[in-house]
């Protein structure tokens, strides 16, 4: 089993990523920390607790993280994820306590207690991970890899060339991408191919267990924002689950190794991930960038995983 910590901003697609991590025995989810991004820090923390209550995994420790990005004021995405951050489903109130630790303290505790190195899965803005690396540099060697959803090689989804997670905290992303830790990046280039289509969402509704019922409602809500014809989508892009799917089934993806860095100064491009696909900079190839996905196999993994909550 690969030991992982999820740092997330649930968030509909974060919720699906968490479900995949819990449902698949290849992964051991040691802890969950939450970041502010899709919604406020209070809401993303409460959402993580609600999801673990729904999936009956209250044993997994949870701690809340950043109040704001490192430099920018916080911008959230209620227009995508709704007022709660997980609109569309009736989720249970948390029935367990949050850890009396900050996110970076829980990450540090988890790494110290793990004999083996741990993979960090980051599906929101990278503020917590950047702060962790600055406060606990001695624990960097306990991180096996950082697998993150964020960035784009080309078109963005929040400003013309910038993806939301990196947009929210570009300075944090720059710290993480230049930390010298092995990286796997799931940019919009692959996540926009990881769409779930209407008939497949309907098929989630045919899975008869409370977790699948909740995710049917979440997917119905999440799909609405992505119906806007400007996107050219046939369904809803499932961004964050690509990170977990890659950890479980890397063969489901096509990827290229390249240098990726982040622009933090540009008036028009602050938060852009600059992906050196043609090796023009001579900078180290620090990131495995996922560029294509076997979409049917990805959807099958989601359906099979939802069925395990019988
Ligand atoms: O741009 C998509 C990313 O931003 C996803 O992680 C989504 O959950 C939001 O955080
Ligand atoms: Ca997210």
Q: What is the 10 CA–ligand 2 centroid distance (Å)?
A: 6
| pLDDT reported for residue 217 | 98
Catalytic residue among 192, 213, 239, 249: 239
| pLDDT reported for residue 121 | 99
Q: Which atom of ligand 1 is nearest to the CA of 11?
A: 8
| pLDDT reported for residue 310 | 79
pTM of the model as a whole: 0.98
| pLDDT reported for residue 40 | 98
Pocket test for ligand 1, best of 164, 185, 244 (most atoms within 8 A of CB): 164
Task: Supply the DSSP string of 121-148, one letter for each residue.
Answer: EE-S-SHHHHHHHHH-GGGGGGEEEEEE
Q: Which residues line ligand 1 (CB under 6 A)?
A: 9, 11, 13-14, 37-38, 123-124, 149, 157, 163-165, 239-240
Domains contained in the chain, CATH given = 2-193+237-291 (3.90.245.10)
Asked about 56 being catalytic, the answer comes back as: no
The Cα–Cα gap between 111 and 162 comes to: 32
Q: What is the 283 CA–ligand 2 centroid distance (Å)?
A: 28
Per-residue burial over 131-164, b = 16 or more CB atoms within 10 Å of its CB, e = otherwise: bbbeebeebeebbbbbbbbbbbbeebbbeebbbb
List the structure tokens of 22. 């819990």
Q: What does the pLDDT look like over 135-178, one tens digit per residue?
A: 999 999 999 999 999 999 999 999 999 999 999 999 999 999 99
Q: Which atom of ligand 1 is nearest to the CA of 14?
A: 8
CB 3 within 8 A of CB 203: no
Q: What is the 27 CA–ligand 1 centroid distance (Å)?
A: 22
Give the CA count within 13 Å in the CB-facing half-sphere of 220.
14
Q: What is the 22 CA–ligand 2 centroid distance (Å)?
A: 17
Q: What does the pLDDT look like over 155-166, one tens digit per residue?
A: 999 999 999 999
> Which of 190, 170, 180, 198 is CA-nearest to residue 291?
190
């Amino acid at each position: 089993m690969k030991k992982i910590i999820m740092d997330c901003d649930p968030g509909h697609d974060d919720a699906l990523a968490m479900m995949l991590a819990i449902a698949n025995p290849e992964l051991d989810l040691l802890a969950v920390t939450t970041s502010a991004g899709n919604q406020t820090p209070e809401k993303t923390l409460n959402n993580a607790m609600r999801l673990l209550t729904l999936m009956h995994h209250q044993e997994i420790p949870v701690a809340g993280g950043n109040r704001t990005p490192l430099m920018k004021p916080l911008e959230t995405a209620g227009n995508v994820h709704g007022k709660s951050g997980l609109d569309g489903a009736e989720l249970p109130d948390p029935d367990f306590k949050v850890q009396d630790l900050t996110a970076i303290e829980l990450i540090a505790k988890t790494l110290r207690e793990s004999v083996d190195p741990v993979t960090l899965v980051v599906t929101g803005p990278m503020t917590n991970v950047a702060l962790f690396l600055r406060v606990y540099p001695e624990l960097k060697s306990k991180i096996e890899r950082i697998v993150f959803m964020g960035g784009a090689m080309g078109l963005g989804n929040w400003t013309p060339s910038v993806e939301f997670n990196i947009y929210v905290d570009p300075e944090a992303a720059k710290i993480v991408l230049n930390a010298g830790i092995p990286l796997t990046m799931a940019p919009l280039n692959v996540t926009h191919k990881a769409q779930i289509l209407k008939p497949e969402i309907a098929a989630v509704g045919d899975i008869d267990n409370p977790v699948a019922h909740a995710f049917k409602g979440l997917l119905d809500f999440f799909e609405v924002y992505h119906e806007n014809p400007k996107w050219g989508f046939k369904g809803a892009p499932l961004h964050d689950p690509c990170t977990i799917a890659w950890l479980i089934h890397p063969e489901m993806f096509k990827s290229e190794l390249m240098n990726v860095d982040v622009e933090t100064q540009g008036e028009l491009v602050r938060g852009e991930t600059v992906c050196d696909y043609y090796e023009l900079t001579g900078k180290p190839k620090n990131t495995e960038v996922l560029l294509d996905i076997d979409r049917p196999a990805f959807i099958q993994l989601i359906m099979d995983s939802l069925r395990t909550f019988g």
